[in-house]
Amino acid sequence: MKEPAVVLKKNKEKAVRQRHHWIFSGAIKSLPDFNDGDILAVRTSQGEFLGRGYFSRRSSIIGRMLTFDDTPPLKALDERLDASLYLRRELIRETDAYRLVNAEGDGIPGLIVDRYDDVLVVQITTLGMERLKSTVLSLLIKKLSPRSIYEKSILPARREEGLPDFEGLLYGEPVEAVEIQECGLRFLVEIPGSQKTGFFLDLRPMRRLVRSLSEGRRVLNCFCYTGSFTVAALAGGARATDSVDISERAVGLARKNVALNGFESKEQTFHVADVFEFLRRDLEPYDLIILDPPAFAKKKADVLRAGRGYKDINRLALLKIRPSGLLLTFSCSHFISQDLFQQIIFQAAAEARKGVRILQRHRLAFDHPLNIYHPESEYLKSLLLYVD
């Protein structure tokens, strides 16, 4: 009996042939009878087999490809997990905390797995991957023997597919917090109730950059969260640091991480405050400011408002930097492109009447690979700026 298949419209197979994981509803010619989340074969309008993916009518991205050949999907999932683990074992040396699976970046759409020593935290963003959760758990337990696997799937993408948010223990013993090490520094990662999966693993190369730039500088860490940039700056010889976050819990954790690394004797101050309001205060100028705000644009309709927010906060920061100072500024908004982000910084510099030069663009972390066939996965961008 012929396998049930999704049939694409004429001339709509190019993206799949080029190994792009997403299939949009407008590319579909016909669908078989199926339940949302089922894995189905994909064929061209002429009947040529292209691979298999999981499908959900609830999303405009109706299908996500799991294979681009005839490999059985569960076998492909097993092989891609092995390939993901191999990449990290080969390239990640300086830490026991890193991303093990980066969704489409590792050829496994809908799945994020982060490792904090012997604790794994997973995020499942799609109905199709939700249906595969038990298989994923079995593979992770078999390959890694973790002490604990915790799920933190609190994401808008789930709601688009009719999935409720979920957070809870999936396997092993409950773990409230775990200590990790990165480049000789120690960090406490809280598991339940924290942002994302607990720690911004994608910023590891930028923490190394901050550490290399901080000697003798007065540093301001805005949106400090767990204080990782503050710790990096102090480790690099910063003469003073200020750390600001609107969350009292985050600031408390930042204090713990500074103390954990033995930097209590250094000049450092913590502020529970709105960063926009803090930057409007009468402040002594800084030598280095780090701006790592949350995503201002969570959907495409937010771009205009988000652009104003990014411009305003970067303008305020530029006004607080002494001549020959540095600004490391980020955007993690998927809908703000690199080109648009640079244009926003141009506008902020012009309004601040500051001479600004770009010294460096973002350094991608090795454990956050970007699939060259799937550029939509790129979300994080940054600029290191020299302020004349």
CATH of the domain at 309: 3.40.50.150
Q: Is residue 122 part of a domain?
A: yes
- Which of 16, 33, 67 delimits the end of a domain? 67
pLDDT at 281: 96
Are residues 235 and 310 part of one domain? yes
CA atoms of 329 and 348, how far apart (whole Å): 12
Q: Is residue 126 part of a domain?
A: yes
Are residues 225 and 368 part of one domain? yes
Taking CA 244 as the corner, what is the angle to CA 239 and CA 246, rounded to the nearest 5 degrees? 170
List the structure tokens of 123. Answer: 């995020």
Q: Is residue 193 part of a domain?
A: no
CATH number, position 153 = 3.30.750.80
Q: How many CB atoms lie within 10 A of CB 176?
A: 8
Residue 79 CB contacts under 8 Å (≥ 6 apart), including other chains: 71
Q: Is residue 191 part of a domain?
A: no
CA atoms of 304 and 333, how far apart (whole Å): 12
- Which of 130, 146, 178 delimits the end of a domain? 178
Are residues 368 and 232 part of one domain? yes
Q: Is residue 187 part of a domain?
A: no
CA max distance for the chain: 75
CA atoms of 316 and 153, how far apart (whole Å): 34
Given a contact cutoff of 8 angstroms between Cβ atoms, the answer to whether 219 and 233 are in contact is yes
- Which of 67, 100, 121 delimits the end of a domain? 67
Q: Is residue 125 part of a domain?
A: yes
Q: Which one, of 222, 218, 253, lies nearest residue 234 by Cα? A: 218
Q: How many CB atoms lie within 10 A of CB 77?
A: 21
Are residues 148 and 61 part of one domain? no
pLDDT at 115: 98
Total domains present in the chain: 3
Are residues 162 and 207 part of one domain? no
183 is catalytic: no
pLDDT at 305: 87
Question: Residue 327: which domain range?
Answer: 200-387
Are residues 243 and 356 part of one domain? yes
Selected catalytic residue, list 183, 222, 224, 332: 332
Q: In the beta sheet, which residues pair with residue 321?
A: 286
Q: Is residue 183 part of a domain?
A: no
Q: Which one, of 104, 117, 91, 110, lies nearest residue 172 by Cα? A: 117
Residues of the chain with pLDDT under 50: none
Are residues 126 and 95 part of one domain? yes
Are residues 285 and 214 part of one domain? yes
List the structure tokens of 351. Answer: 């309004």
Are residues 233 and 302 part of one domain? yes
